[in-house]
């Protein structure tokens, strides 16, 4: 029998709701003090509440998570954390959405073998989904840029004396460096702005 029962909850951002995971944990009568929650990406295990939970866990404790992707989304790191928790810490883990991932049952060789296969498949799926999310984000950004949507900080306006400095430079009254200095701009920035200005009249 487990010494203490814990639950771990993770949502990817502060905007996401954790209600479904919390409700599932409370239905198991897990003490409130034994529920740990991070509102953070699952790309790695540098999460404050997860680290605090791991420090608390002792041999024969029982840990519940709602689904494998709540533990994380990095294939290699999920497998490593699973090994640390079950082998080094000596705890049991129950993945509520996947009954085969319950280390309390099937502790014989075949049960462990099947559990390891399921874990590896699900971990791979979790990381693949994370990669798909990144791909969709990149495609969305590219599509937005194609529509003319601008990202990042808006460009600084040119100083009032830019046009005069530009004319003097083009008429060879002053050097490029002097023109940029007069506008308090780096040489490369002044030159870039000059080209942009000239392209408007071509």
Distance of CA 127 to the CA centre of its chain: 11
Structure-token pair, residue 67? 């689904």
Q: What is the dihedral of CA 13, 16, 20, 23, to 10 degrees?
A: 70
Pick the catalytic residue from 12, 41, 67, 181. Answer: 12
For helices 162-170 and 187-199, angle between their N-to-C axes, nearest 10 degrees: 90
CA-wise closest residue to 30 among 68, 56, 65, 78: 65
CB 6 within 8 A of CB 63: yes
**181 is annotated as an active-site residue:** no
Active site positions, annotated: 12
């Amino acid at each position: 029998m487990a010494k203490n029962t814990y639950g771990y909850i993770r949502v990817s951002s502060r905007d996401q709701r954790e209600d479904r995971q919390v409700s599932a944990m409370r239905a198991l009568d897990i003490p409130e003090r034994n529920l740990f929650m991070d509102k953070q990406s699952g790309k790695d295990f540098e999460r404050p509440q997860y680290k605090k939970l791991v420090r608390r866990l002792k041999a024969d404790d029982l840990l519940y998570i709602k689904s494998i992707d709540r533990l994380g989304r990095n294939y290699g790191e999920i497998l490593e954390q699973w090994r640390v928790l079950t082998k080094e810490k000596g705890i049991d883990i129950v993945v509520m959405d996947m009954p085969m991932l319950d280390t309390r049952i099937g502790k014989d060789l075949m049960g462990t073998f099947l559990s390891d296969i399921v874990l590896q498949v699900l971990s791979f799926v979790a990381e693949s989904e994370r990669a798909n999310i990144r791909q969709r984000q990149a495609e969305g950004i590219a599509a937005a840029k194609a529509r003319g949507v601008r990202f990042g900080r808006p460009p600084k306006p040119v100083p009032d004396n830019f046009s005069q400095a530009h004319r003097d430079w083009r008429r060879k009254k002053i050097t490029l460096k002097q023109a940029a200095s007069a506008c308090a701009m780096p040489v490369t920035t002044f030159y870039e702005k000059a080209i942009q200005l000239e392209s408007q009249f071509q």
